[in-house]
Structure 1
Amino acid sequence: MNTDYYKVIANSTAHRKSRDDNKDFIFQNPEFLKDLLEISINVTDKNHHKACWILELVLEERIELIKPFLDSFCNVLAKYRSDSAIRSLSKICLFLSKSKAIVLTEIQEEKIIEACLDWLIQTDKAANAAYSMRALYQFGKKYPWINDELQLILSREFENQTPGYRGAVKDLLKRLR
């Protein structure tokens, strides 16, 4: 682990410019991607959520960069508890569910599906739920049982949710019909 790079991540902020600068740094210095991923998958590191923010932006543009780290990424998904990290991770899971450049193994798919289901059920954050449900919808094209589960989960306690959550649910339920 490069300690200077770790300090850069530790000092980064949620501001888009900070995250974009860090993303651009990775594109210019790809040898630091391994360090970024190590920090992001270490759920005990107090800065792992910041690394996840950066990783999300990197993978949004170049999802194929995750290939060498895919098993490590999938193996740790169930351990995340930070809503801030989960927002980025659920979005990465959505990217993976839609990707033509990445071929997931059945085990990797299973771990992503399980994590997204857990996040959807446990979160009270609309964005985390929305990205999770959209990733699950994509996997539901291959595994129809997921769509049945989604319909059950999404129709429960619908009225008690935020307007953002309800909007995402309405859109997805429309697609599932």
Structure 2
Amino acid sequence: MPSELQIKLDYVNAYRENRLIAAQDILENPSLFDELISICFSPSDKNNHKACWILEFVSYEELIWLQPHLDFFFSNLKILKDESSIRPIAKVVQLLIKSHYNKDKNSILLSEENLQDCIEASFDWLINDVKVATKAYSIRTLYVLGNHYDWIHPELKVILDKDFGDHSAAYKAVAKEVLKKIK
């Protein structure tokens, strides 16, 4: 028998308003969060991508809820293959990295292993055939990480320079913005 969350996810569609309503339901019922994370990293689950959409919206409000799940979250980034799942997760990764280096009282604490998993996934998404939004999130995530790992900016620059001509205006805009900051 499907869980309460699975039943809710069955009714989620791509409309932003619909996803926001589902995210609000999670925010009002935090007991559903653990299952949401589990579904996000269960690629064979028919609602996997919908769970990822909802996680993105929940993360804007309660990123700290991910803290106890970070080892699971980062170690499983590489199992995601569906573009509809990867894009929102790439955004959540960007939020986590920005929070980690923000260092305020509510910042996320990432382990070195979490950071290494993040670097690997972000470079993979940047060089593989994924949509531009995922690449843009990855570029921005790697830029922030490059302020703390001196080898990342040179590698990022090489990839952005090499791929610049092959991508859309949106990719070029993000690449240009980051390249300007690196130089």
Q: TM tier, shorter chain? A: over 0.9
Give 2:110's match in structure 1, choosing from 89, 104, 112: 104
Give matches, 1:55-74, under 5 Å.
55-74=55-74
Give matches, 1:1-150, under 5 Å.
3-99=3-99, 100=103, 101-150=107-156
* Equivalent position amino acid for 1:73 in 2: F
1:46 to partner: Cα distance: 2.2
* Equivalent position amino acid for 1:153 in 2: I
- TM-score of the aligned structures, taking structure 1 as reference length: 0.96
Listed as ranges, the gaps of 5+ residues in structure 2 are none
How many Å separate the matches in 1 of 2:112 and 2:4? 38
- SS state at 2:151 partner: helix
* Equivalent position amino acid for 1:136 in 2: L
- TM-score of the aligned structures, taking structure 2 as reference length: 0.93
Say yes or no: does 1:163 pair with 2:169. Answer: yes
1:2 to partner: Cα distance: 6.0
1:152-177 per-residue CA deviation (whole Å, 9 max, x = no partner) reads 11111311211111111111101111
1:154 is matched with which residue? Answer: 160
Runs of 4+ in 1 over 3 A off after TM superposition: none
Residues 165 and 63 of structure 1: is their aligned pair in 2 closer, same or farther, counting only changes over 3 Å?
same
1:89-112 per-residue CA deviation (whole Å, 9 max, x = no partner) reads 110110011003111000000001
Count of aligned pairs = 177
1:123 to partner: Cα distance: 2.9
CA contact (8 A) 1:2 1:35 kept: no
